[in-house]
Amino acid sequence: MSQNEQVTTRGDLGRAAVLGLLGTRGPSSRAELARSLGVSPATVTQTTKELLARELVTELESVPSQGGRPARLLGLVRTAGGAIGAKVTPDHVALVSVELDGTVRSSRVVPFDAASPSALEALCDILRAAVDAHEGHLLGVGVGLPGAVDSQASGLVDAPTLGWDRAPVGPRLRDALGVPVLVDNDVNTLAAAESVYGIGRKHSSYLVVTIGLGVGCGIVQHGSVSRGTHGGAGEIGHIPMTEGGPTCGCGNTGCLEAHIGEPGLVAAARAAGIVTADGGIAELAAAARAGDERAHRVYAEAGRLLGRGLSGVVHTIDPELIVLMGEGMTEWSFWQAGFEESFRRHLMPARRNVPYLTESWTESHWAVGAACLVLASPFDADTAGAQGQLVRARLQDVAAGAR
C-alpha cells in the first residue's frame, strides 16, 4: 500500500479528496481517480460506493476503455450541499459561499472591529446575514482565525492579534446561527484545502507557510492536519530569532514574526527612511517596485530570516515539500533571493533539495479554506467531533430528500 493510499483509506480527508477531484477535474472513471490519488482501484471503488449511496456522486455515461468493458464515469452532485467560509481579521471578515466541490458561488468582504467589546455579537450578525442569504442546502459554516483554537468541534480561541483570550467563538456562533460551525486556525484551514483540492492529492506530508500580517504554518503529516495538544501547532512565527529583537505581539522579543510580519517590515522600512511615519506596507512595496535598493535590502533580509527559520522546521518535520502563500506573496520576487540562499545553506545536505512552491494569492483563499473545514468534516470524525456528525446528518437529509 502506498503512502498516499494510507492517507486515503483513513477516511478523514480521503473521501473529500475524491469529491474535490471530481469537482476540479470533472467526470472521471474509477481508474482515473485511482491513478490521480495514487491508490488502488479497489480503494476507490469502496470510497465511491459510500459517496454513491449518499448521492454525493452519480454515475454518468460509459466511455471506451483499453480492453474489457467500457468504464463508467463518475460525476459530482454539486448541488447536494454547500458551505459558508469566513476568515476573521482585525478589521474585516472575508466571506465565501461555496458548492460541494469548492466552487465559489459568491464572495465579499465586510468591515469588522475585532477589538470592539461587542466583536462576537458583530461576528454573529455578519454570519447570520450570510446564512440567511445562502441558497440551497447549507451544510455548515467554517471559520478561520489567526490564533490557537482548542479544537474545531469546540471553538475556544486565543488570538493575540485579535485581542481575544479564550473567546467562545464556536459556542456563540452555533447558538446564533442554528447550523454546524467549525472553527480552526486560519493556516490550518489552508492546509485542509490543499488536502482536498490542492497538492494533497499528490503528497501526504507537507507544510503550508503563510507570510503577511504575521507568519503561520499548517502541518500535514500522513494526510492529516497536525494541530498539537492545544490546537497551536505550527506557530513558527514565534520561533526566537534574535536576542533583544523587536517586541512581538505574543509579548516576547526577537520572534520571526516580529521581524518579517507586516508590522516588522514596515518598522524596518521606517528605520531605513523608506516609509514615512504614517506610511505602510504599500509604500514599501511601491519603493521596491520602483527599484529602491534600500527596500530591496529590507525584503532580502526578511527572506534570509524566513529561510533560516524554515530550515529548522524542515529538520523537525521532514516534509515532502513546502507551499508558500499569503498576502506577502505579491512581493515574493523581492524576498526570493535572500530566502533561497539562506534556506538551502542552513539545511543539512540530505534535506537540501526539499522543494518549495509558491501560490498566487487572493483574499478569498482564506475563506475558501475555512469552508473546507465543513466540506471535509463528514469524513473527519476524529477532528470535527459532534459538529462533523451534524454535517453528516445534513448530508443524509439531502440524500433522503432526493430519493
Residues 338 and 372 in one domain: no
Residue 272 lies in a domain: yes
Contact 267, 340 (CB under 8 A): no
| Local confidence pLDDT in tens for the 403 residues of the chain | 333 333 333 343 466 667 766 765 678 888 888 887 778 888 888 888 888 887 778 898 776 655 556 778 988 776 667 899 999 999 999 999 998 777 888 999 999 999 999 999 999 999 999 999 998 889 999 999 998 898 877 889 999 889 999 999 999 999 999 999 999 999 999 988 887 777 877 888 999 999 998 999 999 988 788 888 877 899 999 999 999 899 998 889 999 999 999 999 999 999 999 999 999 999 999 999 999 999 999 999 999 999 999 999 999 999 999 999 998 999 999 999 999 999 999 999 999 999 999 988 887 888 999 998 888 776 565 666 788 778 877 766 654 544 4
Q: Is 280 left (phi over 0), alpha (psi -120 to 50) or beta?
A: beta
Residue 198 lies in a domain: no
Residue 240 lies in a domain: yes
Residues 253 and 269 in one domain: yes
Residues 254 and 353 in one domain: yes
Residues 187 and 248 in one domain: no
Of 28, 60, 76, the residue at which a domain comes to its end is 76
Residues 231 and 270 in one domain: yes
**CA separation for the pair 38, 45 (Å, rounded):** 14
Residues 67 and 124 in one domain: no
pLDDT score at 65: 58
Q: In what order do the strands lie in the sheet containing 28-29?
A: 28-29, 71-76, 57-63
The cell numbers describing 159, all together, are 488570538
Residue 297 lies in a domain: yes
**CA separation for the pair 37, 35 (Å, rounded):** 6
Residue 273 lies in a domain: yes
Please list, in sequence order, all residues whose beta carbon lies within 8 angstroms of the beta carbon of residue 234, skipping any fewer than 6 positions away. Answer: 185, 187, 188, 216, 217, 218, 219, 226, 228
The cell numbers describing 210, all together, are 503563510
Residues 245 and 375 in one domain: no
Please list, in sequence order, all residues whose beta carbon lies within 8 angstroms of the beta carbon of residue 381, skipping any fewer than 6 positions away. Answer: 11, 12, 388, 389
Q: What is the CATH number of the domain that holds 394?
A: 3.30.420.40
Paired residues of 58 in beta bridges:
75
Residue 385 lies in a domain: yes
pLDDT score at 197: 73
Residues 108 and 164 in one domain: yes
Half-sphere exposure of residue 42, counting CA atoms within 13 Å on the CB side?
Answer: 1
Residues 148 and 214 in one domain: no
The cell numbers describing 62, all together, are 460509459
∠ CA 254-116-246, rounded to 5°: 10
Of 42, 76, 110, the residue at which a domain comes to its end is 76
Residues 185 and 208 in one domain: no
Q: What is the CATH number of the domain that holds 39?
A: 1.10.10.10
Domain span holding position 240: 204-319+327-358
Residue 197 lies in a domain: no
Residue 196 lies in a domain: no
pLDDT score at 5: 37
Residues 216 and 348 in one domain: yes
Domain count, the chain: 3
pLDDT score at 23: 65
For the four alpha carbons of 250, 256, 262 and 267, in that order, the dihedral sign comes to positive
Of 48, 76, 104, the residue at which a domain comes to its end is 76
pLDDT score at 69: 62
Contact 388, 378 (CB under 8 A): yes
Supply the angle between the helices 186-197 and 14-25 in degrees, to the nearest 10: 70
Residues 137 and 236 in one domain: no
